[in-house]
A and B are shown apart, each in its own frame.
Chain A
Amino acid sequence: MDGFVFPNEAEVQWSLLIVLYPFITGLVAGAFVVSSLYHVFNIKSLKPVASFSLLMALSFMLVAPLPLLAHLGRPERGILIFLTPHFTSAMSGFGYIWLFYLVLLLTETWLVFRPDIIHYAATIGGLKGLVYRALTLGMPSMSEDDKRFRETAIKVLAAVGIPSAALLHGYVGFLFGAIKANPWWSTPLMPVIFLLSAIVSGIALLIVMYVVVMRMLRRPIDHACLASLGRWLMAFLVIDLAVEGLEILSMAYESEESWEVVSRLITEKIPVSYFGIQVLLGSLIPLVILGAVAAQARKGGASAAVFAAALLVIVGVFAMRWNVVIGGQMISKSMRGFTSYVPPLGGREGVLAATVLLALPFYIFSTIVSFIPPWQRAVADEGEAEAEPAEGAPAWEGADSRLRRGDWDWEEAVRR
């Protein structure tokens, strides 16, 4: 406690779990944007990760409501957000936006992988085969009509998904930005800032996951794709930094009554987290790295640098979520003091719980890809231009020959 805080402000209300939620939904939005860049805008260089990012988005989407649920004072009443929403509240949007977007993700994933599912359902037996046959939803084959429909549907869903992803993370930004009581939160730019940092974090995590997973499976990495991702990351990072900078610059320039406490917040209370991690480590340094990579215009070989930049960006975005959620609550509404917050280790909202929740999407992802690995498509994607190898990188296998024979074993592939 520092200075004077109102008697009810001794404890910070929104804990580490609420820092986690925008981080997770941000990753979803970012990953999905990459997927849609390929499916809607036909950015060919992103094809290798289009399906990968879709599955990543789905994995994180399934975990998104859990930190919210664990944080509620009455978790058993969480369902009321769906049943009796109060639409003047930004938070009431969570129920339907999340549900709609989940359905969209599930549908698009199913459509994208339908050829694979059908193939596996026909060729793989046992318990796993049962799962595949269930996933076919009683339709074990695709007619030409179905194939055409699939193409259109994927495009439509991917297109609709972009504003939906914007809404999914934009509403969180609005949730904070519309709170006039909190000077650190209250700004019309908040939805934009959240969305941009979401896209940035999504692309960054995609880069990291792609490299790590491919390395684990000893599969070749598409360096051109990585370089392309690096350029997209840089572009969004520039815009993100610009908007965040604009916001803080405006506040400092206009120097309203609240600027006194806000400036003390960032210079005295969270300087390391804000200037050190969010700005320097998480934005400026990666920008320099990515800029250097892009300037060299080499198609490959800079993947390590892109990977490092992506790691830094992820840390930076997490710090940004922390700075917004926790930092904002540290300012007392009396404008005369600050509280402090140190997350507990255990308990429903502690560091351990947060770690488990952050690990869960990866676990879900590994389960999903054990059924429908995106790097090993059973059937070449129909209706698209025949896969031409991206410059300087090995092509995607259209179909693995062992797969056609039906005796492909994923676990064995990993072990090898």
Chain B
Amino acid sequence: MPVSRRRFIKLGAHAAFGGLLVYTLRGVLPQPGSRPADAQGDDAYDQYRPQDHDWAFVIDTMKCIGCGRCARACKQENNVPWEPDCNRTWVERYCFTEDGEVHVDSPEGGINGFADEPLPEGVKEERITKSFFVPKLCNQCDNSPCVQVCPVAATYKTADGVVLINRDKCIGCRYCIQACPYGMRYLLPDEGVADKCTWCYHRITRGRLPACVEACPVGARKFGDLRDPKGEVSKILAERNISVLKPDMGTKPQAYYLDLDGAVV
């Protein structure tokens, strides 16, 4: 028999109130999503104000010797799986040959350097005209396509210019991996969430440099605060000719390259 309007409204009100009650009391329930502590003292971070900083990265391709120490230090620092398809940063080698072809390779991301690796397939050493290394890492784009396409807003850009991923929100849809023009993202195999280079956020917020910058023996990687006009990075951006990767994409990368060859994509 049909429900009378009054009873119906009463029922609805009870249900709504009950729902709100549960929602308010959620603090009493055990919280899902809390991780075992991997954390280290918060004191330095408590003094850190993200809005006072604007981080930027500079890569001098002419200095890179392809030793791979950066890639190695990164994996150690950030507990990145050592499998080949999880790379927060890597080094590519470009070989130009006499016939005008460009050959690129990056054996395991350059983690073991290039000393024991053969030349790219089909390249004979005597035919090489020009050759160099290019380190790559997340550009922390100002107009980031990965932030734009995340369906649950799990990835976001901080006030100090770093794009981070909230591992508690990420649903592992991999749309961000598709959207990144630079191939910087990957799926963490065990956790099923997206991951990428964070410019060692846990180091730069405590006054240090990213692990790859510290590991580089020749100063090919530089890191600094654009708000500091006397800093090395600010000076380079003010005085030298710089370029970025895939500028036509409009992503506004914050990782700048010196002496970047036009063939580098």
Contact = CB atoms under 8 A, between A and B. Distances in A.
Find out whether A and B make contact in their complex, taking CB atoms under 8 A apart as touching.
yes
Interface string A324-352: 00000100111110000000000000000
Nearest to B174: A13
A73 interface: yes
Interface residues of B, number: 49
B198 interface: no
A181 B182 CA distance: 8
Interface string B166-194: 00011111110111111111110001111
Contacts, number: 130
B100 to A, nearest CB: 14
Contacts of B181: 180-181, 333
B85 A4 contact: no
Given A7-B106, A138-B1, A73 B145 contact: no
B8 to A, nearest CB: 12
The secondary-structure label for the interface of chain A is loop
Interface string B133-149: 00000000000010011
A178 B2 CA distance: 50
Interface in A331-377: 332-336
Interface string B54-94: 00000000000000000000000000000011110010100
Contact of B170 (A6, A73, A179): A73
B105 interface: yes
Interface in A169-183: 175, 178-182
A72 B182 contact: no
B170 A180 contact: no
Contact of A139 (B2, B108, B152, B182): B2
30 contacts: A4-B104, A4-B105, A4-B120, A7-B109, A8-B85, A8-B87, A8-B177, A8-B184, A8-B185, A71-B173, A72-B173, A72-B192, A73-B192, A74-B192, A77-B172, A81-B171, A89-B150, A91-B175, A94-B151, A138-B1, A138-B3, A178-B149, A180-B181, A180-B249, A180-B250, A182-B178, A333-B181, A334-B104, A335-B265, A336-B104
Interface of B: 1-3, 84-87, 90, 92, 102-106, 108-109, 120, 145, 148-153, 169-175, 177-187, 191-194, 249-250, 265
